[in-house]
Amino acid sequence: MKNKLKTWRALACQRVPMIAAILHACSYYENSDKAYWQQLGVGEGTFCVNPYTLEVTYSQQFANTHTPEENAFILAHEGVHVLCDHLNRRQKMKQREGISFQPHIFEIAEEMAVNELVLSIGGWSKVPGGIEPDTSMTNLTTEEKYFELKKKAKHITIKCKCMHGDPKDGDGGRGMGDILKAQAIKAGRKVALENSKGQQPGNMPGELRELASSFAKLYKPPDFRELMLRHMHAMTVSASHFDESTIYRNRMLLDGLCIPNLGNRPQASKFVVSIDNSGSVDDTRFAHLKSILIEAADQLGFNEIIVQHFTTQVMATERYTDLNKLKTFKRRADGGTALEDCDHKAAKTGAVFNIILTDGYVSWLNSYSLPTLIVRTKEEGVSGPPRVRNLIADLVL
């Protein structure tokens, strides 16, 4: 059976290269105990992965009823679950939705997303006994599929357990287990990025696009100059007849912001950058947010930048007039995430606009107190804030 398992794994890795590192990092255990599988709620056996320990448990009886091609598909399916971090994403959705969360619907969304990705990358023609993808939702992420499925059914009782485990199963990042897992996932997402090159995002399976963007989300910084120029045009288009010099002169008199054209260096007299210090923003992501702050300051020029460190409220405020000093600032807080307080306090500073840097775990406002640009480093199952008053743009990198 172990030799057969190696054959299935080799075929899965050949067909879906992005899960090769994960499947080779996994440990494999055969378990024919019917009580074990019944406890997991999957009948008499299947393949099942614990993403926290990278342990794949399988039933020999189940495997014997499938062809090598089908078993390879199932192994690839389990590897993609780990690569997409589905169990943790399910927990985040549960926290977000509370009592309205439908776990069985989310599991079906996971299955659809994974099977869709494995079919599209691996070249298989059908899913061996699993949930078939819905072609109308091909370009949606797991979370987006979940919301669409919720519209179609109040409650779904179909069970499709092929993941199990608890974060406590792992070693909390202190030992080789979590390090190996992190390295395997990083390698897989890098391959996903490479596989996505040359494809239009709109033509990709939603989870492939999510994987590629999660690895490459900050390779290209936003063009703040272009965004601010568009914003200024939008603020004055109500005039029947106008010329650009009048637009810029009025904006300069109104709030001190002047960008004569894209060929000249813009100058913002004073603006706010609100940077997310919440627990979901780890040190790596915080460094990415800091790099965006530096990019904005460098592109726009400034006399003064007010930096607000926020969680559910503004926890610390700093004032910078020198770009070199701005590069040395550090995290100042820890906690949850909400935008209301940082938006309210930004308006009190007399700044011309507010740039909010966050990872996407936010409670959106209906309107903003002053022109606001939101830059998110990762989209987590939300389509973004509505186009509301004083929102310049919402970027997902």
Q: What is the reported pLDDT for 342?
A: 92
Map the chain to HEC letters. Answer: CHHHHHHHHHHHHHHCHHHHHHHHHCEEEECCCHHHHHHHCCCCCCEEEECCCCEEEECHHHHHCCCHHHHHHHHHHHHHHHHCCHHHHHHHHHHHHHHHCCHHHHHHHHHHHHHHHHHHHHCCCCCCCCCCCCHHHCCCCHHHHHHHHHHHCCCCCCCCCCECCCHHHCCCCCCHHHHHHHHHHHHHHHHHHHHHCCCCHHHCCHHHHHHHHHHHCCCCCCCHHHHHHHHHHHCCCCCCCCCHHHHHHHHHHHHCEECCCCCCCCEEEEEEEEEECCCCCCHHHHHHHHHHHHHHHHHHCEEEEEEEEECCCEEEEEEECCHHHHCCCCCCCCCCCCCHHHHHHHHHCCCCCEEEEECCCCCCCCEEEEEEEEEECCCCCCCCCCCCEEEEEEEEC
CB 293 within 8 A of CB 326: yes
Q: Across residues 207-235, what is the average pLDDT?
A: 64
The pairs formed by 312-317 with CB atoms below 8 angstroms and a separation of 24 or more are 312/336, 312/337, 312/338, 312/341, 313/338, 313/341, 313/342, 314/274, 314/341, 314/342, 314/345, 315/277, 317/345
Place of tokens 């378990």: 31
**What pLDDT sits at residue 345?**
95
pLDDT of residue 307: 94
What does the CA dihedral 93, 96, 99, 102 come to, rounded to 10 degrees? Answer: -20
Picking from 63, 125, 113, 66, the residue whose alpha carbon sits closest to that of residue 86 is 113
What mean pLDDT do residues 381-389 have?
Answer: 60
Q: Is the pLDDT of residue 272 over 90?
A: yes
pLDDT tens, residue by residue, 53-93: 888 888 888 888 888 898 889 898 888 888 888 888 888 88
Whether the Cβ atoms of residue 90 and residue 165 lie closer than 8 Å to each other = no
Pairing assessment for the beta strands 55-58 and 257-258 based on DSSP bridges: unpaired
Task: Tell me the average pLDDT across 320-342.
Answer: 85
Q: Per-residue pLDDT averaged across 234-250, rounded?
A: 46
Count of C-beta atoms within a 10 Å radius of residue 369: 17
d(Cα 273, Cα 317) in Å, to the nearest integer? 10
What single letter denotes the amino acid at residue 126? Answer: K
Amino acid residing at 139? N
pLDDT digits (tens, 9 = 90+) for 289-302: 888 888 888 888 77
Per-residue pLDDT for 228 more than 80?
no
Question: pLDDT (tens digit, 9 = 90+) per residue, 168-203?
Answer: 655 544 444 566 677 777 777 777 777 665 565 556
Domains assigned to the chain: 2-215 (no CATH), 224-396 (3.40.50)
- What is this structure's pTM? 0.55
Residue with the bigger pLDDT between 228 and 238: it is 228
